[in-house]
Amino acid sequence: MTTQDAPVSSGLVLPRYRRDDVDAHPPLLSPGYKSTVARAPKHPLIYLPQRLTEVTGPLLGEGRVGALDHDLTRQHDGEPQGQRIIVHGRVRDGDGRPVPRTLVEIWQANAAGRYRDARDTWPAPLDPHFEGVGRALTDDQGRYRFITVQPGAYPWRNHDNAWRPAHIHFSLFGRAFTQRLVTQMYFPGDPLFFQDPIFNSVRDPKARDRMIARYDHAGTTPEWALAYEFDIVLRGRESTPFEDEDDHDDE
């Protein structure tokens, strides 16, 4: 067993994170999504055995989250336009263990489908009461909760008459560099999935379905907000490293 004051030149036993299955994530080169063509690397990724830098990661805590950061409907003097929704869920690892006290960052378009950004210039109204930015920390059980408005779909120029399905961007750190994830949450029954190359870049239909939130009637607040549940699973740890450590060879 390694102790805090032992010499560290060898015998270091590190946790290891499972590699994701090949189909879990979209291929970097997905030509239907045109921006990947000049941006996806041509060389295959080089396999990197996980070392200290990869199995640790920034534990960004309370100092990052203000009192109203989880409530995107109360960040301005007035309420934003649109359907009020609660978005909540659990962040867990691949073994079902909660990921506690981890930062969840979200951003989204407003109810009309427009982002608060100078470069987003399509003719849909900006909402003076909606920034579209949220932050929360998971609790000890890995739970998070946001209050926001249903984002609108919006056009983009990827292909003829291209529209992004409504979505909320999610960014997560987990507890290790290997767990870092940026994804998007989609809404059930969206009629725009069929023509969206970003959603469809995930080839395994089961993996794709994980990006669709569940409508949660029990989680609604009567006469106030609908609710969606969106659980997020980050990579799990290998279960063996602390048993087979004896000499060396952790590969």
Partner 1 sequence: MSEQLGVMPAQTVGPYLHIGLRWPDGPYVVPEGTPGAFWIRGRVFDGTGTPVVDAMVESWQADPDGRFDHPDDPRGARPPALAGFRGFGRSETDGNGWYGLLTVKPGSLPEPDGGTEAPHLTLSVFGRGLLHRLVTRLYFPDEPAANAADPVLRSVDADRRGTLLARPAADGFEFDIHLQGDHETVFFAV
Q: Are 180 and 56 a contacting pair, CB within 8 Å? A: no
Closest approach, Cβ 35 to partner 1, in A, equals 3
Q: Which of 172, 177, 207 is nearest to 16 (CA)?
A: 177
Tell me whether residue 74 or residue 210 sits nearer to partner 1 (CB atom). Answer: 210
Nearer to partner 1 (CB atom), residue 106 or residue 111: 106
Is 43 part of the annotated catalytic residue set? no
Q: Which of 33, 144, 154, 228 is catalytic?
A: 154
- Residue of 90, 164, 175, 235 with catalytic role: 164
Q: Give CA–CA dist 51/54, Å, rounded.
A: 5
Q: Which of 25, 115, 203, 208 is catalytic?
A: 115
- Nearest distance from C-beta of residue 231 to partner 1, angstroms: 8
Q: Active-site residue 167, yes or no?
A: yes
Q: Is 169 a catalytic residue?
A: yes
- Please state the closest distance from residue 46 (CB atom) to partner 1, in A: 5
Q: 């470069």: which residue's tokens?
A: 119
242's CB contacts (< 8 A; 6+ apart) are: 13, 15
Q: Tell me whether residue 54 or residue 216 sits nearer to partner 1 (CB atom).
A: 54
Q: Enumerate the H helices of 100-178 as residue ranges.
A: none
177-183-184 Cα angle (round to 5):
160
CB of 220 to partner 1, least distance (A): 24
47 catalytic? Reply is: no
Taken in order 97, 133, 60, 238, is the CA torsion positive or negative? positive
- Residues with Cβ within 8 Å of 75's Cβ and at least 6 positions away in sequence, in order, are 68, 69, 131, 133
Nearest distance, CB of residue 247 and partner 1, angstroms:
10
Query: What is Dmax (Cα atoms) for the chain?
Result: 65
Q: Which is nearer to partner 1, 190 or 220 (CB)?
A: 190
Name the catalytic one among 70, 88, 90, 167: 167
154 is catalytic: yes
Catalytic residue (choose from 25, 74, 145, 169): 169
Q: What's the CA angle centered on 173, arms 169 and 179, to 5 degrees?
A: 105
Residue 95: DSSP 8-state: T
- If the CB atoms of residues 46 and 67 are measured against partner 1, the closer one turns out to be 46
Q: Shortest distance, CB of residue 217 to partner 1, whole angstroms?
A: 23
* Three-state DSSP class for residue 34: helix
In three-state secondary structure terms, 45 is: coil
Which CB, 75 or 220, lies closer to partner 1?
75
Which residue numbers are catalytic? 115, 154, 164, 167, 169
